[in-house]
Amino acid sequence: METQSLISILIVNYQSTGYLKNCVFSIREKLFSFSYEIIIINNDTDQKDFSFLDKNEKIIQTEKNIGFGSAINYGVKQAEGKYLFFLNPDSVIIDDNFQKIIEIFQNNDKVGIIGLKLVDENNQEEIWNAGENFTLFSSLKNNLFANPNINICNSPGLKKVGWVSGAALLIRKDLFEKIGGFDENFFMYYEDIDLCKRAGQSDFEVVFFPQIKIKHFSGRSFRDKKGQKKYYYQSQEYYFRKYYGKFVSFFISILRKITH
């Protein structure tokens, strides 16, 4: 009898009391045929009631909101699964064909990360599911053209991409550990793009798999829109400084001021 979980599902909770319970229930309903564990890293010191959890569903309490990447890194230390599944608390799993995900990993040793299809509460596709390699050129396209990733997100089958959203992302645990987990200099935003880039640098493929849908009630866990933009721009500038230098990072900040 298998005792080790095949999939470790890690959820970072912050201001998501009204959504987390439904998220957990959807996992139980759709992943019933797999050995899995749920690890909730609770960044919200105000939310204390987790009585809806079962015995194989763990809570790790942080002392404050330490950000998404740092919380995941913290949780992975207790994860037993061969594959890690990062899932936002304001989401529910719609499809139950996760066997296809396992088969993709098992049939291709070079696939390191798999992103799933995100739809909003009206079942409309979110355009920031996945994208091409994130460069200065792609950032220019994002600023100048609408829906830059629409062709990727509309792809009917498995597609190799540059990055996938961390809202519903699976990664081999040994790869996650090999590349050092999330860069904790990103408090929120761009940490998923950075993770995918480092996986690619380690000769692993990042793929987008739209045949499993996740309903995502986007942005419900962060209500401070001004603070949200601040973290986004800080992470954007750090990403470009990390990979392309201070001049490109400065150029991006100027471009943002012009276009917004």
pLDDT band at 148 (very low <50, low <70, confident <90, very high): low
**Is the separation of the CB atoms in 132 and 142 below 8 Å?**
no
Q: What's the pLDDT score for residue 221?
A: 57
Percent of the chain whose pLDDT exceeds 90:
62
For helices 246-259 and 225-244, angle between their N-to-C axes, nearest 10 degrees: 140
Tracing tokens 């001004």 back to the chain, one arrives at 226
Q: What's the pLDDT score for residue 49?
A: 86
Neighbouring residues of 167: CB distance < 8 A, sequence distance ≥ 6: 86, 87, 88, 91, 118, 214, 216, 218
For the residues 14-34, what does the mean pLDDT come to? 91
Residue 14 pLDDT greater than 80, yes or no: yes
Residue type at 106 in one-letter notation: Q
Residue 164 pairs in a beta bridge with 130
For 101, the token pair is 């995900």
Q: What's the pLDDT score for residue 2?
A: 47
The secondary element (H helix, E strand) that includes residue 71 is: helix 68-76
**Is the separation of the CB atoms in 119 and 216 below 8 Å?**
yes
CA-to-CA distance for 65 and 86, rounded, in angstroms?
17
Residue 119 pLDDT greater than 50, yes or no: yes
Residue 131 pairs in a beta bridge with 163
pLDDT, tens digit, 9 for 90 and up, residues 82-99: 999 999 999 999 998 899
CA-to-CA distance for 70 and 233, rounded, in angstroms?
18
Q: What's the pLDDT score for residue 219?
A: 63
When mean pLDDT is compared across 53-57, 174-178, 192-196, 218-222, the lowest value belongs to 218-222
Determine how β-strand 205-216 pairs with β-strand 159-161: antiparallel
Q: What's the pLDDT score for residue 224?
A: 64
For the residues 192-215, what does the mean pLDDT come to? 96
Chain-centroid distance of CA 166 in Å reads: 1
Q: What's the pLDDT score for residue 3?
A: 53
CA-to-CA distance for 51 and 173, rounded, in angstroms?
29
Domains of the chain, with CATH numbers? 7-219 (3.90.550.10)
pLDDT band at 109 (very low <50, low <70, confident <90, very high): very high
**Is the separation of the CB atoms in 32 and 51 below 8 Å?**
no
Number of neighbours of residue 21 by Cβ within 10 angstroms: 16
Q: What's the pLDDT score for residue 150?
A: 53
Q: What's the pLDDT score for residue 138?
A: 67
Q: What's the pLDDT score for residue 5?
A: 85
Helix (H, G, I), strand (E, B) or coil at 218: coil
Convert 205-231 to b/e letters by CB count within 10 Å (16 or more is b).
bbbbbbebbbbbbbebbbeeeeeeeeb
Helix (H, G, I), strand (E, B) or coil at 210: strand
Helix (H, G, I), strand (E, B) or coil at 243: helix
Determine how β-strand 163-164 pairs with β-strand 130-131: antiparallel
